[in-house]
Amino acid sequence: NYTTDTKSREENKTTLENLYSLSVDITKIRRLKEWVLLQDVAYVKEIAGILQEMGADETTVASIIERCPEAILHTPAEINSQRALWQLVCQNEKQLIKLIEQFPESFFTTEYQQNQKANILFFQELGLKNNIITRFLTSAPNIFYNPVEKNKNVIETLQRNYLNLGGSEANMKIWILKLLSQNPFILLNTSTAIQENLEFLQRNYFTDQEVLQLLSKLKGFIFQLNSTTMQKSMLFSKNIFKCSDQELKQLVLKCPALLYYSVTVLEERLEGLLKEGISIAQIRETPMVLELTTQIVQYRIKKLSALGYDIKSGNLESLNGTKKDFEVTYGKIQSKKERPIFNPVAPLNTED
């Protein structure tokens, strides 16, 4: 624990000199985390030396320290332990230094080394590839701070439920690994929350097969919800689309966003669509359009309108999908518009 009382203390002159010698921009550190410069002990040269050993040049070292100044407060022993830990999943030190440069804060969080190591080994045993584990280390570091027993418990709950819902033993491993790689944050939930959400779906007349289908479509995000918010979102959709429980269920299976997004988000997106002259009937026909933000919808409608495509009179399929999907659809409509109409009775040009 480092003190953050900056009023009564002066900056450590040795730290400043060492940082200057590495061409570190001190003003950036003052603006970002000035308290680091006030500490009595810092390991500037030692940490820079370890980074250089791994292949970092002077510019890279300066950039890492500027973005994560507290790196210099860790002991060389702590950083070497962290280095050995990350090497369990990195191909080589070149890859490791690249990751540290991109995600310095993830690397320099050394308080949970025992948990990190146990979780890395657990994920490897589970069958996750090292490149996926490195992605977790950088983008979802919190899951490594959990005791390994907690993560094991969540995985076991998922496995048990998958089999109870009719999933096969043969496909279970692939399903779990896919779910984890799509959304590692499911490990931050409790086993109880996971169980409750699955039971909520079953109470709402989703069959076991449909629950499995939803889990795959939602990429595990369902586990970050709670039954109250899901109930509110479903009731809102039922009222807007004026449908029966069975029809609502089919809409949710088509578009799990109706379950996942809050009423506020759904209201805002519906309003955006209605302002563009799109009807409730069209949205009900293609509910997946609610997965897109209002800004994306407006941009896509504008692009299609420029081609003379009237979204109000057609279906909304052309708006759907990822950016890549939309570009493909847009390209097809554009080429169709530009293609000359063939006249079968026009005389042929004999020179051709």
Give the pLDDT of residue 345: 54
The whole-number average pLDDT for the span 39-55 is: 96
225 lies in some domain: no
* pLDDT above 50 (res 18): yes
Give the per-residue pLDDT at 225. 82
- Answer whether residue 316 is part of any domain: no
What pLDDT, on a 0 to 100 scale, did the predictor assign at position 352? 40
Do the domain assignments include residue 69?
Answer: yes
Please say if the pLDDT value at position 79 is more than 90.
yes
The answer to whether 249 and 205 are in contact (CB under 8 A) is yes
Instruction: Provide the pLDDT for residue 339.
Output: 59
Q: Is the pLDDT confidence value at 8 over 60?
A: no
Residue 76 lies in a domain: yes
Quote the domain boundaries for residue 82. 10-110
Rounded to whole angstroms, how far apart are CA atoms 107 and 315? 49
* Mean pLDDT of the 222-241 span: 89
Using only C-alpha atoms, the chain has a radius of gyration, in whole angstroms, of: 27
Residue 53 counted as domain residue? yes
C-alpha–C-alpha distance, residues 87 and 50, integer Å: 14
**Percentage of the chain with pLDDT > 90?**
64
- pLDDT at position 343: 52
Q: Are 79 and 48 in contact (CB under 8 A)?
A: no
Number of domains in the chain: 1
Tell me how far CA of residue 206 lies from CA of 117, 167, 337, in angstroms: 40, 15, 43
Higher-confidence residue of 307 and 87: namely 87
Residue pLDDT, tens place only, 132-187: 999 999 999 999 999 999 999 999 999 999 999 998 998 999 999 998 988 899 89
Position 317 scores a pLDDT of: 86
pLDDT of 118 reads 97
Query: 149 in a domain, yes or no?
Result: no
Angstrom distance (rounded) from CA 185 to CA 223: 9
Tell me whether residue 216 is in a domain. Answer: no
Question: What pLDDT sits at residue 37?
Answer: 96
The answer to whether residue 243 sits within a structural domain is no
pLDDT at site 344: 53
